[in-house]
Chain A
Amino acid sequence: MIEFLNTLVADFLIILRDVAPVLAVVLFFQFAVLKQSLPNPKK
C-alpha cells in the first residue's frame, strides 16, 4: 500500500513538474504583459 502511495505521489510530482512551465508562461503573460486577472472559464 505504501509503495503504491509512493508511486502515486512520485507520478503526481512528475506531472506537476511537466505542467508547471505551461502555467508559468500563461501566468507571466496574463499578469506581467497583459496586466489582467485570469478569465473565469465558467462564464
Chain B
Amino acid sequence: MAIFPVGESMAEKLSRPELKGWALAFAFCIGYSTTMAEPALLAVAGKAEEISAGALPSFYLRNAVAIGVAVGLTLGVYRILSGDPLWLYILIGYLIAVVLTFYAPKEIVPLAYDSGGVTTSTITVPLVTAIGIGMATNTPGRNPLIDGFGLIAFASVFPMISVLSYSIIAKLIKRE
C-alpha cells in the first residue's frame, strides 16, 4: 500500500499538459519495471521454461509480457489524457489478440492468454491504479470514476498481444 501514495503523487504532478510526454514515458517505464518484478509472473515463467524443457526461456517470456504491459499502460495513460472512450481501445486490443491467435503456435496460446491475468498482481496493480486515479483527478474534464480505472484492463490485454507476437516472430525465425 505504500506504493499507492507515491504513484498517485507522481501521476498528479505528471498530469500537467507540458509534461504529457514525460507522463507517457513514466507509464512505459513503470509498466515494464513492475512487470519484470512481478512474483506471480516469475513463478509462471519459470514453470513454463521447466515444462518446455528450456524451449521457452523465462527471461524472454517475462520481457514479452513486460513490453506488452508497458505499451498497454502508455496507451491507457494517453487515453486518460485525451479522453477517448475506453471500450474502443479494449475492443481493438482483443480483436488483435484474437487475430494473432490464429497465427501463433497453439502451445503458446493458453500461456499468452494467462499472462494478462498473471501480470496484474501485487506490485503492478496498486501502482497502476494510483497512476490512473492520480491522472484522472488532475486532468481537467476527467472523472476519476470513469477515466481513473481501466488501466488494469490495458495491462491485461496487451501482454496477450505481445506474447502472441513474440511466439509468431520466434516461429518465423526458426523456420528460416
A binds B: yes
Say yes or no: A21 contacts B33, CB within 8 Å: yes
Identify which of B5, B14, B22, B42 contacts A18 (C-beta below 8 A): B42
Chain B's closest residue to A43 (CB) is B5
Main secondary structure of the interface of B (DSSP, over half): helix
Per-residue CB contact flags for chain A residues 20-38 toward chain B (1 = under 8 Å, else 0) read 0110111011100110101
Please judge, given known A-B contacts A22-B30, A25-B26, whether A34 and B37 are in contact too, CB under 8 Å. Answer: no
Min CB gap A7→B, angstroms: 16
Distance in angstroms between the alpha carbons of A23 and B29 in the assembled complex: 11
Say yes or no: A33 contacts B22, CB within 8 Å: yes
Distance in angstroms between the alpha carbons of A30 and B32 in the assembled complex: 18
B10 beta carbon closer than 8 Å to chain A: yes
Task: Please count the residue pairs between chain A and chain B whose beta carbons lie under 8 angstroms apart in the complex.
Answer: 46
Count of B residues near A, CB < 8 Å? 21
Count of A residues near B, CB < 8 Å? 16
Identify which of A18, A24, A26 contacts B10 (C-beta below 8 A): A26
B6 beta carbon closer than 8 Å to chain A: yes
Identify which of A25, A33, A39 contacts B33 (C-beta below 8 A): A25
Per-residue CB contact flags for chain B residues 10-28 toward chain A (1 = under 8 Å, else 0) read 1001100001001000100
| A19: chain B residues within 8 A (beta carbon) | 37, 123
18 contacts between A and B (CB under 8 A): A18-B36, A18-B42, A19-B37, A19-B123, A21-B32, A22-B37, A25-B26, A25-B29, A25-B30, A25-B33, A26-B30, A29-B22, A33-B14, A38-B6, A39-B9, A41-B2, A41-B4, A41-B5
Show the binding face of B for A, using Cβ within 8 Å: 2, 4-6, 9-10, 13-14, 19, 22, 26, 29-30, 32-34, 36-37, 42, 123, 127
Show the binding face of A for B, using Cβ within 8 Å: 18-19, 21-22, 24-26, 28-30, 33-34, 36, 38-39, 41
